[in-house]
Amino acid sequence: MDNYTLITGASEGLGKALAIKCAERKMNLILVSLPGIELYQLACYIRRRYAVKVCEFETDLSHESGCLYLARLIRENNLPVNMLINNAGIGGTFDFSETGFYVWQKHIQLNITGLVHLTHLLLPELKRHPHSYIMNVSSLAIFFYLPQKQVYGATKSFIYFFSKSLRRELKSYNVHVSVLCPGGIDSNPLHYLLNHRSTSIARSSSMTPEQVAITAINGLLKGKERIIPGKWNRLFIYLDKILPAFVKDKLIWKQVRNMKQQYAEALMQGNISFLKKSA
């Protein structure tokens, strides 16, 4: 029976790029996202272009019922999953005290609770295969303490620790766990605008979803523990270890101020819809 790769948050951005790169390798796919026509358009395109099997399911993984619903659909349709890519997540740049708690609650429910719950539900199926894979999407932000990304960074730090610990626990079952830590991604017009009008560091390190997806899938299939796409991003990790704290703080605050300015300009130029979508 043909195996399937399950990708969450698959309708746009990195998730969409991951789906296409997997299809290029002739992997059958289970694509999961919130309700929206983009998911069905992607599924139809992949079936037509790559001649692989594709199942698309709409559900909200930030709710327990959404995870249970997805697991039930996989079981009822007898879909053998040997690769799980936990890409679904929510981010944003917000002042902690000036943002409603429901925003932080949503971050935690999707980035942490949904990821852990879905992984737990599918683990018996993954263990059943001679070899299987899990890739969890964290962020380069976990290596730096960024103002206005306090909850986002914390949730992605959880994913990083969870992935590295789970990797050791599942080694004897031949379940290979990798954690992906991308930097800035030009995943939609707003992100492209912010990345390419920002500091030279942000411009140099930003990548397209397709570039990140290629590195991610290659690293996952090689069984790499930590995957950091882009030579600039790997350089940042090295510099973080050797630069004095006061230098790093200056660089971080410069980046934050620049990001605020770019958000303000985006609002003035009428890119409000992109702002809401990205948040």
Render pLDDT for 214-235 as a digit per residue (tens, 0 to 9): 999 999 999 999 999 988 787 8
DSSP, collapsed to helix, strand or coil, labels residue 62 as coil
Cα-only R_g, the chain: 19
Place of tokens 């050797």: 242
Q: Give this prediction's pTM.
A: 0.84
Q: Would you state the pLDDT for residue 263?
A: 57
Report the pLDDT value the prediction gives residue 259, as an integer from 0 to 100.
61
Q: Check if the beta carbon of residue 15 is closer than 8 Å to that of residue 88.
A: yes
CB-based contacts of 15, cutoff 8 Å, min separation 6: 7, 8, 9, 33, 85, 87, 88
Q: What pLDDT is attached to residue 107?
A: 95
pLDDT exceeds 90 at position 17: yes
Contact 146, 92 (CB under 8 A): no
Task: Walk across the sheet containing 81-86 and list its strands.
Answer: 54-58, 28-33, 4-8, 81-86, 132-137, 175-180, 226-227
Q: Strand, helix or coil at 110?
A: helix
| Ramachandran category for residue 183: left, alpha or beta (phi over 0 → left; psi -120 to 50 → alpha) | beta
Instruction: Name beta bridge partners: 253.
Output: none
pLDDT at 148: 78
Q: Go through the domains of the chain in sequence order and give each one's CATH number.
A: 4-187+207-239 (3.40.50.720)
Q: Which of 74-78, 99-103, 148-152 has the highest mean pLDDT?
A: 74-78
More confident: 194 or 37:
37
Task: Identify the bridge partners of residue 98 per DSSP, sorted by sequence position.
Answer: none
Q: What is the mean pLDDT of the chain?
A: 86
Of all residues in the chain, what percent carry a pLDDT higher than 90?
66
Beta-strand pair 54-58/4-8? unpaired
